[in-house]
Structure 1
Amino acid sequence: MAQEAFPGRFTAGPEGDVTVFLIGMRANRWWKIGTVMRVAAAMPRMLRYLATTPEAGLLGYHQWLGRTTVLVSYWRSPEHLMRFAANRDAPHLGPWRDFMKTVAETGNVGVWHETYSVPASGVETVYSGMPLFGLAKATTHVPVGHGLNTAKQRWAHVGGGRSARAS
C-alpha cells in the first residue's frame, strides 16, 4: 500500500535529543538461505514487540531489504535502546545469543549496527513532496513556514546555528 505524499515542505519536530540506531544484516553466502532466513526472522518479532511496548522507547523506523538490509530507527534515548537489548523478556537477547553461538563464526551472515546520540541542537531536516518519513514520522511532521525556509533557518531554530558559531 503506497503512502500518500504530502505536497509542500515539512520538517521534523523532535521534543528533545534523539538516538539514531542503524542496524542490518548481509547475506554473505546467499545459498545458505535457511541460515539467512533464520537470522532475518528475528527482526520482525522485535519490531512487533516494540510496536506494542511504547515504554521500550522506539519512536519509529524505516527498513530496506536486499542482500544487505538496513533498518534506521529512532529512540527516546541510548538508555532505552540498551535496556531493550539487555531485557531477558524482550525478543532481542535470545536471537542475539543464538546468532553469536551458531552463526557468527561461520561468516554465512553478517550483522552490523551503529548508534548515534543526537542532541536536538544537532538536527536539521526537510521533506518535500514526501510521505511521512524519517525523523518527522517518528516525532512530529511540521509544515515549513515563516522562518524555517532554509537549512540555515531550521538549523538556527533548533540551536544548531548557535552551537556551530560557538565552536
Structure 2
Amino acid sequence: MNPIMPGRQSASIEGPFVVFIIGVRINKWLAFSQWLPVVQAMGPMLKELYENRELGFLNGASFISGRGVSIVQYWRSYDQLEHYAHSAKHLSAWQNFNRKSRAAQAVGIYHETYMVENGAYESIYVNMPATGLGRAGELRPIGAGRETSRERTNLGSADEPKHVESSLD
C-alpha cells in the first residue's frame, strides 16, 4: 500500500500520454457463468501489464461499483495501447467475451480512450497516497504558480477560456 503524502500534491508526467478507462457491468446477477469469466479475464491482463512496462502501460487503478468494475489506465502512447489490444492475451479474452456473453446481455463492457497529445491536464490530491496519475508520474507539492487548475494546466490566462475544470480548487 502506498504511504499517505501529507499536504496538497499535484501529478506531473513528461510528454504525451493516454488515459484509458475500461469497465464491466453485470446486468444479470444470476448468470454467473456469463459474467464471471469476463471479470476474471481482467486479472491476468493487468498482471501482464504490470510485469511488462515496456508495453507502454504506466499504471492503473480499479474501482468497484454496485454493478461492476472500472479500471482507469495510463499509457505512454495510443500506438502502444492499440498494440496491446491486438495482442494474443487481450484478443483471446475479447473473442471469448463476444462468443459467450454478448448475445445473452448478462454482462456489459465498455472503454473510453483519451489521447492527451497537447500535454494539457491537471490533478490535485489532498492528504492522499500516490493515486492515479500521481502514481504513473511524479508528485510535486502545490505552491506559487500552481495553485489553480488553470495554472497547473499551463493553458493561459482566464481571458482565454479553456475546457478544463476542477471542483477541488
* TM-score normalised by the chain length of structure 1: 0.88
TM-aligned CA deviation for residue 121 of structure 1: 3.1
Query: Are 1:165 and 2:163 matched, yes or no?
Result: no
Gaps of 5+ in 1: none
Partner of 1:52: 51
User: Which whole-Å CA distance do the structure 2 matches of 1:10 and 1:42 have between them?
Assistant: 34
Alignment of structure 1 residues 32-71 onto 2, 5 Å: 32-66=31-65, 67-71=67-71
The answer to whether the 8 Å contact 1:14/1:120 transfers is: no
Partner of 2:165: none
The answer to whether the 8 Å contact 1:23/1:114 transfers is: yes
Q: Deviations over 1:43-66 (max 9, x none)?
A: 010000001111111111110123
* TM-score normalised by the chain length of structure 2: 0.87
From the two aligned structures, give the one with the greater helix fraction: 1
Gaps of 5+ in 2: 163-169
Alignment of structure 1 residues 14-163 onto 2, 5 Å: 14-66=13-65, 67-88=67-88, 91-156=89-154, 160-161=155-156
The answer to whether the 8 Å contact 1:25/1:68 transfers is: yes
Q: Given residue 111 of structure 2, which amino acid in structure 1 is its aligned partner?
A: H
Identity, % of aligned positions:
34
**Residues paired across the two proteins, number:** 160
